[in-house]
Structure formats: structure tokens, C-alpha cells
Amino acid sequence: MWGALALLVSMLVAPTAARAAPPALPGGKANWVVSVGGLNNNYDPRNWVRLGYYVFNADGTAETNFWSWNEADSPERINTVKANCDGAVPHCYIRTVEDFDGSPTGGLRGSFDYDASGRLVVTWKTDKSGADITDLRETWNLQTGLVGGKLARITSPTYYTNSGTASDPDVPDPVAGEFSSYSATFGIGYGSTTGFGSDTRASMSDLVNDSRYNTVPYRGTFVRVNNGSLDREGTGGNWTFSGAQGDNNANPWQKCAGAECLGFVQHATSCRSTEDPPNADKDRARYLAEIGGGRRNTEEYWCMLLASGADCYVYNSHPRPMLQIIDDDGTFQGWVGAEAFSHVSTSTGKPDEAWNQYYWGIFDTVSPDAQPAIPPSGWNGSQAVPRFTVPDGANVATGDLLWATGALHFSGRNFVAGGCHYVELLAVGTDGTRQRGTSSPLCAGVEADGTRAFRGSLSFAQNPASVVITYWNAGSSGASYSPGSTLNCTPAGCTSADRKPFRIVYGANVASGSVTWIGPTVQFEGNNHVASECRYVELTATGSDGTARKASSSKFCASGGDRTFGPQVIADVAEGTDVQITYWQGATATGPFTLKASATCRPTGCQ
């Protein structure tokens, strides 16, 4: 009896097995905005995209509510709000993909954990009603510590992987099971502790007026399928929301008068005409709108030449549902999004199942603090880095430099409020060769809105290394130009140049360049434009011993030609000394040469 009682007591007090502690929240973040796609190299309509919210709970459970679209269904575009913006922005309805204006169309419930390598493993077990489904597994790379620890990121294993080069990227073909146990092949998401309520998202007014947002270049990666090919592009770019840093200083993003939306006429884009003769319009109408509740926004853009004279283009625009990324402090950091572009007939407006012309993809576009993982030169080898702005009072030129293999492409807008102004670029290649490009001179009152676009390309045997951009100004006659401001730019960015520009003219002949003082040395470089006969440029500085020291360009004879010169360096000069720049003319390269124009330069400027 006592033995049986002792056995009973021992059974009652025996310790139970300890339950495993639930996994930690990914990066300590519960609330995520996530874009997922089933994207593949194919001409068949098998692609799909999904955009929604992921929630990770402290007990190890997970849930998602989302909007999803399948290419085979050819989802259509629907009107949202009407953009009645100021400026040249067309007053058109901003369109998104069907269903995004309503409640989420799907949901899943499941659990999360981590594998041996620390990757996040999410397993969906039921639909949102609780009905069992075949387990759907996703395995994510987890990155923490973004925005000072206020944001975390999850990516599918190959979201950022490039099997080619930056100038010729190639997205690796999806490997079954690498990311998911089902048809999902790519994904990107950002998480924080902030909820999903409508009050958490940044308003359109915030984006254009709040100094935390309106000068930020939002950039990222777009993985997409078009014409049967899986590829990647950059998203966002260096367009920002304010006029001071935006692509079009004279006509930046415009706030809609009656709705939460923005509009923007983006100049010098990749838009191209198939007409004969071609339409030269490169402008793109771009819109951004708040839609529904939660973190929803939608973007739409289209080439204005496609409207063929009509106010709005209602066919094959690019609609992009997006969700805002908000960090732990409630600060806007960008978007994740999806593109579900169904090609439609321009006669019926209905999907025509021309599958090779559909665009399907997922993307992120985020602030620098969120560390967009893209190559320094950008995808496709021609990223708009950097954006430049050269002001002179109320006059300003803004634009982009695209650094490509063997070429430097430039484009922008010159806004002139008074006098006459033009932009000059003096570029140097990695092999030391030099090239020059300019905009056309523009005087106030010539263009109705005071702006004129410019664009061009400078070719190099190797690659471009740096460029000096000078904004030249003159009075109303435009007869005599002086420098307004100067930038020194490399692929890493632009800085105010530590140099003083000069420009000396005789008739239609022009020598322009810059002088730089570096301790006991002075350096000059530039371009010689010769319209007739022969010319050369000479610089004279006073040496530390009081003697004159000289350097000159080569003698150049070419009607209507250009030749760059320098950099020429004069050493052991009196520190901060004035220098004389003289412009000489001769009938032949052997001379004799006579002085025709001159300028005096000092560290404070040239005149």
C-alpha cells in the first residue's frame, strides 16, 4: 500500500517537460509591408504579384492580409482621384489596378521560426477564414539595424542577386524551393513597431513640404518580367519632391487642389516615339495618390507623347500599387510596391493578351537611411548619379549625369528669370582625355515658362571619371558671360568646386575653363573653341621669387572646332597670387600671334 502511495506521489510531483520559448520577432519588429511575386522567364501568363501586410506575433504565430493579381486574369486599370494640379501637369484621373481601392482580397495564417543559418522561415497553414491549406513555406534573409535600428528588411535569397555585371545585369533564374515551397520566387519587405492605421502614413502634403522627406532621393530595385525576360531595373531614381532638389526646378511635384495626390511632369525621360517623323516629346506625366485606408498609395506614369494631343492617356500606363514604409518613430522611409501592367488595345481599351507586352514585377524604393542595396553605378550601368543643381540668384539649371561605359550622358532644364544663361560641362576620362558639352544659351522671355531642356552625350575611349559643371550668366544682351556657380562631379556625387571659372571671348572664339589654387601651385584647364584662324590660351603667374611663370594650351586651328587643354600646373608661385589669362590669335599655327583678350583671376573670382 505504502509503495503504491509513494509511486502515486512521485507521479504527481514529477516535473513536466519545459515548453520551447517562442521565437523572437524578426529584428524586434511586428508589423511589415511586403511585396511578393511569382516571376519567371516565360512568355506564358504565369506571373503573379501580391502586396500586403505581415504581422508577427510574440507567440510565434504569423498572419498576412494582401491584394493579389494574376497575369492570366489581365487585371484592368481603374480610376481613383482626379489630379487637378498646378503647372503643366495634365488634369487626369490617377489609375491603379482593380481591387486595390477595396479591402484586401486574400489572407493567410501560420507561424514563423528561424533555420540553423538564422534565416526567417514563415509557414502559412490556413487561409484567413481558418480553413486548412497545404503548407506554404517562405524562407527570408533578414537584415536588421536599418535607420539606426528603427527598421528591418526581409528579402528573398535572390532579390538583390545579380549574375551579370552592373552594366549588364542578369537576374538568376529562380530555383524551385530556394525561396518558397510554392510558386513565389521573389520578395521584399520592411518592418517596424508602428501600426498600419491611416494616421501612420505620410500625407502628400508631407512629402512635398516636410524637410524630412522633400529633398530625399528614394531609390531601390525593381525585379520585373517583360517580353518573356526576367530582369531588373532601378526604381525611384533621384527624383525628389521639392523644387530645390527635384528633376524640374521650375515645375516640381505639384499638390492636387481637391484630393490627396501629387502630379509631376518629368523631363528628358526614356520615352520614345514610333511615329515617322518621330515625336520629340520626352516628357512623362507622373502621379502619386493616397488611396483607401492603411498605408496605401498608388503611382501611375505614362509618356505624354502617347496622348496624341489629348489631355489624358487612358491605355497602357504603368499602374503601381504601393504601401508606405514607416519606421519605429513614425517616420516615412519609402515604399514597397508591385506593378501589374496588362496591355490593352488602344481601340477597345480592353486587355488584348499580348503577353510579351505585359509588365509584372515587385520593387522597393527607399531613403538612403534604409540602405537600398544597389551597385554604386546603379543597375544597367547608367544610373542617374549624381543629380546636379547650379544656381545663380533666381536662375538655376538642374539635371542628371548618367555614367555609362565609355560615355557620360547629361540632361536637364535651364530656368532663366533674368539675363541669359547656359550650362557648360568639361569632362575628364580615366585615360586623361577631355570632352566638352554645353546647353544652348537661354535669355529671359524667350521661353513662355522660362525653361528649356538640354541633353547630350560625351564619348570616351575608356570611361568618364569626373566633370566640372559651370553655370554662365550675362546681362540681357548675352554679349559677355561670367560664372554663376560651379560644381565638381564624380560618380559618387557633386561638390562645390574649389576653383574659379573663366571665360574670355574674341568674336565667335571662346576660351573657357577654371583656375585652381592649391598651396604654392596654380592649375588651369578648359576648352578652346575656335571659329576662325588659330588660337591659344596662356596663363601667367608670379613666382615666389617675383619672376613671371607661364603655361599655355596648344595652338589650335579649326573652324568651328573645340580642343580641351590642361590641366597645366605652375609650381612655386606666390601663394594666392593673381594670375593673368590671355587669348592669342594668329593666321597660322606658326604665328605670329597677337593678344586679343584677357582676364584676371584671383582666389575670389575671375573678371
384 band by pLDDT with thresholds 50, 70 and 90 = very low
DSSP secondary structure, 297-363, as one string: EEEEEEEGGGGTTSS---SS-EEEEEEEEE-TTS-EEEEEEEEEE--B-TTT-SB---GGG-EEEEE
Beta bridge partners of 289: 261, 298
Using DSSP's 3-state secondary structure scheme, residue 407 falls into strand
- With the C-alpha atoms ordered 453, 459, 464, 466, is the resulting torsion angle positive or negative? negative
What are the residues facing 590 on neighbouring strands? none
* Alpha-carbon Rg for the chain in angstroms: 30
Q: Is residue 128 part of a domain?
A: yes
Assess whether 54 and 123 both reside in one domain. yes
Share of the chain above pLDDT 70, in %: 87
The pLDDT of 395-415, averaged and rounded, is 78
Q: Which domain holds residue 437?
A: 382-496
Residues 6+ apart with CB under 8 A from 199: none
Residue 31 resides in a domain: yes
State how many domains the chain has. 3
The verdict on 476 and 504 lying in the same domain is: no
Q: Name the strand (E) or helix (H) holding 209.
A: helix 204-209
Is residue 156 domain-resident? yes
For the ranges 206-215, 289-298, 394-403, the maximum mean pLDDT occurs at 289-298
For residue 158, being part of any structural domain is answered with yes
The answer to whether residue 18 sits within a structural domain is no
Are 389 and 436 in the same domain? yes
pTM (2 d.p.): 0.66
CATH number, domain of 409, equals 2.60.40
Residue 245's pLDDT is 47
Q: Which of 453, 479, 496 is the last residue of a domain?
A: 496
pLDDT digits (tens, 9 = 90+) for 271-280: 876 666 656 6
In terms of domains, do 456 and 545 share one?
no
Whole-number Å distance between alpha carbons of 573 and 542 = 6
Task: Indicate whether 186 and 222 sit together in one domain.
Answer: yes
Task: Tell me what the mean pLDDT of segment 300-315 comes to.
Answer: 92
- Residues 322, 403: one domain? no
Query: Which amino acid is present at 315?
Result: Y
Which of residues 473, 496, 519 is at a domain's end? Answer: 496
Encode pLDDT of 13-57 as tens digits.
Answer: 445 555 679 999 999 999 999 999 999 987 778 999 999 999 999
- pLDDT over threshold 50, residue 382: no
For residues 552 and 595, what is the distance between their CA atoms, to the nearest angstrom? 13
C-alpha cell belonging to residue 223: 525585379
The CA angle 248-253-258, to the nearest 5 degrees, is 150
Whether residue 540 is found in the same domain as residue 504: yes
**Residue 164, pLDDT score:** 63
Same domain, 191 and 327: yes
* Residue 131 Cα distances to 128, 134, 369, angstroms: 7, 10, 41
Select from 470, 496, 522 the last residue of a domain.
496
Is 335 in the same domain as 387?
no
Q: What is the DSSP letter of 219?
A: B
Q: What is the pLDDT of residue 168?
A: 59
Give 509-543 pLDDT, tens digit per residue: 888 888 877 666 777 888 888 998 999 999 888 88
User: Is residue 43 a part of any domain in this protein?
Assistant: yes
Grid-cell match 506554404, residue found: 136
Q: What confidence category does residue 294 fall into, taking pLDDT thresholds of 50, 70 and 90?
A: very high
Q: Are 597 and 464 within one domain?
A: no
Residues 332, 444 share a domain: no
Q: Are residues 528 and 477 in the same domain?
A: no
Asked if residue 280 is part of any domain, the answer here is: no
Kindly state whether residue 535 falls inside one of the protein's structural domains: yes
